[in-house]
Amino acid sequence: MQTHFTLAQLADPDLAESEKILRTCVHCGFCNATCPTYALLGDELDGPRGRIYLIKDMIEGGKDASPVLVRHVDRCLSCLSCLTTCPSGVDYMHLVDNARARIEETYRRPFADRALRATLAFVLPRPGLARIALAAAALAKPLALLLPRGRIAAMLKLARAPAPPSVMDRPRIFPAVGKQRKRVALLTGCVQQALAPQINESTIRLLTRLGCEVVVAKGAGCCGSLVHHLGRAAEAKEAARRNVAAWTAAIEGGGLDAVIANASGCGTMLKDYGHVLRGDPLWAAKAAKIAVLAKDVSEVVGELGVEGSSALAGIKVAYHSACSLQHGQKIHDLPRRLLTAAGFAVVDPPDGHLCCGSAGTYNVLQPAIAESLRERKLAAIARVNPDIIAAGNIGCIAQLAGGRSPVVHTVELLDWASGGPRPVALEGRLAGTAG
């Protein structure tokens, strides 16, 4: 794509990066073929190519964000399927990140939109507040049927009573069982602590059983991806600096072989910390080191190996490959292989490259599109008739809950197969299985 940025514009690192990305695009449109919103809406501006044109017009022309650009960029899931599809290697992820930051700087949204986004950005990264908000929303959930379709009704529909806090989410060190093979830090996350603390519990049990000393570092918190995708760049950088400081202290206190995320959206963010803080002279090198250490939990379990149970051989598991895992981190087959090694019968639903519609806060901010994508995904999964749906991201798990099959995290099944408890979501189901 030909560009016409001035030298003054290119002195801005974000604009220079965006210009370089734009020049990579050759207008081929292959990205539209796998874009969930283009497939659903059929609008060129709701595909990556159309959004790229809108973004180019804004930043090259030095313009404020327009209502048209905001509408179509807001509809982008950041599922990153276009990254997998693009033959030219267009770095759409960072281009749309830069566009969202510019929208936040130059566009004044309606008051209700600003208020909702500010509330999500303040509440969700804080597990205590998230737990209170979930409890209140769960109490009000019956009202969802009385409200017109929209964001409030969508939030209430998604709501569920929060789980009690887990002592395993508190800062401490969990020793390896038997000989220590690795020392790792675990990102315990934010909303996940309130929605499904059993995921961290399963992760710690599994990793310690496989010979890992697991560090839950003091000071580590939300990865920053939630505010990052809302265009709140300063808040995202502050979250990154806080986590980098916590894990750097852990490195200095005994070394780390990996920094593990068990929510793939968080893992994608951690692996991008070097880029997020690239312009910060105090933090860039430390952030780059953490980004290199960042791994999805499946990567570490894959290195260590997992034993299976023949008692689980008859259980059919549909593996839902979260977008942030398969497109963001390029991890596609490994979780399937681990589940198969653990003894499960793994099946692949059709259209596995398409997003389920969760995408962080997307299912709240774009409820109609998110619901359509959810129904499409559940219908595809139903075609393989699984006993269980497994996924590696809390957002996907929450989005797909309530369908025909229970939804659990992949690590919960691996923990169960290697001696841990039956996942909470499977209580009263799968009669005759072990555990």
> Using one digit for the tens of pLDDT, what is the confidence trace for 402-430?
888 999 999 999 999 999 999 989 987 77
Structure tokens at 367: 């409820």
Q: Is the dihedral of CA 312, 323, 204, 127 positive or negative?
A: negative
Contact 396, 412 (CB under 8 A): no
**Right CATH for 7-106 from 1.20.1050.40, 1.10.1040.10, 1.10.1060.10, 1.10.357.10:** 1.10.1060.10
Alpha helices in 141-210 (DSSP H): 151-158, 191-195, 198-209
Q: In the chain, what is the straight-line distance between the N-terminal and C-terminal CA atoms, in Å?
A: 57
Say if domain 306-426 classifies as CATH 3.40.50.2300: no
User: What pLDDT is recorded for position 149?
Assistant: 66
Helix locations, 3-126, DSSP H: 7-10, 13-24, 30-33, 36-41, 48-60, 67-74, 81-85, 92-106, 111-123
Instruction: Kindly tell me the burial class for residue 416, based on how many C-beta atoms sit within 10 Å of its own C-beta (0-12, 13-18, 19 or more).
Output: buried
* pLDDT band (50, 70, 90) for residue 283: very high
- Give the pLDDT confidence of 1-40 residue by residue, as tens digits: 888 989 999 999 999 999 999 999 999 989 999 999 999 9
pLDDT of residue 152 exceeding 60, the answer is yes
Task: Give the span between the Cα atoms of 270 and 292, in whole angstroms.
Answer: 9
**Of 3 and 292, more confident:** 292
Q: Contact, 352 vs 321, CB < 8 A?
A: yes
Q: Determine the Cα–Cα distance for residues 306 and 415; give it in Å rounded to an integer.
A: 9
Closest CA to 74 of 190, 229, 228, 201: 229
DSSP letter string, 268-283: HHHTTHHHHTTT-TTT
pLDDT attached to residue 308:
78
Residues shown for the chain: 435
Beta strands in 188-326 (DSSP E): 212-216, 258-261, 294-296, 316-320
Of the pLDDT bands very low, low, confident and very high (cuts 50, 70, 90), residue 433 is low
Kindly report the pTM of this predicted structure.
0.92
The alpha-carbon radius of gyration of the chain (Å, integer) is 21
Q: What type of residue sits at position 142? A: P
Domain positions in the chain are 7-106, 111-158, 167-301, 306-426
**CB of 412 closer than 8 Å to CB of 423:** yes
Whether the per-residue pLDDT at 147 is higher than 70: the answer is no
Element (H, E) at 407: strand 407-409
Residue 160 has pLDDT above 90, yes or no: no
